[in-house]
Amino acid sequence: MPKPAANPAPLFDRPAPVSPLAGCAQPAHLPDALLTERHGLTLWHVDAGRASAPETLAGLNLPRTPNTVDAPKGPKGPAALWLGPGRWLLALSASGPTPDDAPELTLVDQTHARCALRLVGAGARTELAKGCALDLSEATFEEDQCAQTLLHDIPVLLHAADDDVIDLYVARSFARALWETLAHLPSGKGVRAAPTARTG
């Protein structure tokens, strides 16, 4: 049996993570909107179970109102998004504070599980209306509201970071499919209804 020369395990460096959108041209130009991937974020799933959660975590208020977000520094800063009773998603800057491990809280690192996209522009909400059943107009999906919904049949978490800025969090495995759909990348235009054989 052949044998490796020596144990090189200590020689491996810590690699940089690879985005699921590696290879996609960025940004994508949509009608009246730009689609980009956000980098440099850490994402934490916070679950307090049935215990009472702390008011704040990592410098953010944990919102109690369903489908709302605490993002005190606006689209450029961190955000705490309501997911369910006692559950939040924290989107933090990788260089900023990390959540303290409180005994009552369960923290699960989801940085690699979700891909964070940002849609910016006057046409952002129209683009979403092409594949989402919710009313995402400015009147009903206001700044710092969030929604867990389907976009082109893909589960997403949407956050109205601003009137013209919508953040999308999508499961990593779906990220490329969502990107291609939103960016209208060519993939079989129209309906293939042509018969392949003679029909009566």
Partner 1 sequence: MTKAPDETGIAPQACRLETGGHIDRDRTLRFRFDGRTLTGHPGDTLASALLANGVRLVARSFKYHTPRGILAEGAEDPSGLVALGRGARHEPNTRATMTTLTDGLEARSQNAWPSLRWDAAALMRPLSAFMPVGFYYKTFQWPPQVWPLAEPVLRRMAGLGTSPRQPDPDTYEHRTAHCDVLVVGAGPAGLMAAWAALAAGARVILADERASLGGCLLKERTVLNDAPAADWVQTVLGELTSDSRVTVLPATTVTGQHDHGFWLAAERIYDRPDTDPAAAGPRQRLWHIRAKQTVLATGAIERPLVFAGNDRPGVMLAGSVRAYLNQYAVAPGHKAVVFASHDEGYRTALDLVAAGIPVAAVVDPRADVRGPLPDRVRALGVPVRDGYVIGDTRGTASGGLSAVSVHRYRTGGDMVSVGEWLDIDLLATSGGWNPTLHLHAHTGARPIWDAETLAFQPDPDRGPAWLAGACGGLKPLDAVLLSGREAGRGAAEAAGLRLPEGGSPCPTVAPDDPAQATAGTRRAALWAVPKPAVANGKRFVDLQSDVTVEDVALAHREGLESVEHLKRYTALGMGTDQGKTSNVTGLTLLAAARHQPIPEVGTTTFRAPYTPITLGALAGTATGEQFAPVRRSPLHDVQAEAGAVFQATGLWLRPRFFPRDGETLAEAVQREVRTTRERVGMVDVSFLGKIDIQGPDAAEFLNRVYVNGWTGLPVGKVRYGLMLREDGMVLDDGTTARLAEDHFAMTTTTANAGRVMEHLEHALQVYWPELDVRLVSTTDAWAAIALAGPRSRQLLTFVTDLDVSNDALPFMGVATGDVCGIPARVFRISFSGELAYEINVPAGYGETLWRRLSQAGSALGLTPYGSEALGVMRIEKGHVAGPELDGRTTPHDLGLGRMVSTKKSFIGHRLLERPALTDPDRPRLVGLVPEDGRTRLLAGSQIIAVEHAGAPPPIPRLGHISSACSGPSVGHPVALGFLTGGLEQWADQTVLVTYPLKGTQVRARVVPPQFYDPEGSRQNA
User: Residue 71 CB, nearest distance to partner 1 (Å)?
Assistant: 22
With binding defined as CB under 8 A, does residue 13 bind partner 1?
Answer: yes
3-state SS assignment for residue 10: helix
151: enclosing H helix or E strand: strand 146-151
Among 29, 32, 40, 49, interactor with partner 1 by CB under 8 A: 49
160: enclosing H helix or E strand: strand 154-162
With binding defined as CB under 8 A, does residue 123 bind partner 1?
Answer: no
Torsional sign, CA 128, 129, 131, 134:
positive
Residue 115 token pair: 């891909």
Residue with tokens 């934490």: 44
Q: Which is nearer to partner 1, 142 or 153 (CB)?
A: 153
Give the distance, in angstroms, between the CA of residue 198 and the centroid of all CA atoms in the same chain.
Answer: 47
Q: Do you know the residue count of the chain?
A: 200
With binding defined as CB under 8 A, does residue 65 bind partner 1?
Answer: no
With binding defined as CB under 8 A, does residue 103 bind partner 1?
Answer: no
With binding defined as CB under 8 A, does residue 152 bind partner 1?
Answer: yes
User: Interface residues with partner 1 (CB under 8 A)?
Assistant: 1-4, 7-15, 17-20, 22-23, 45, 47, 49-51, 106, 108-114, 126, 129-135, 137, 139-140, 152-154, 171-174, 176-178, 180-181, 184, 187-195, 200
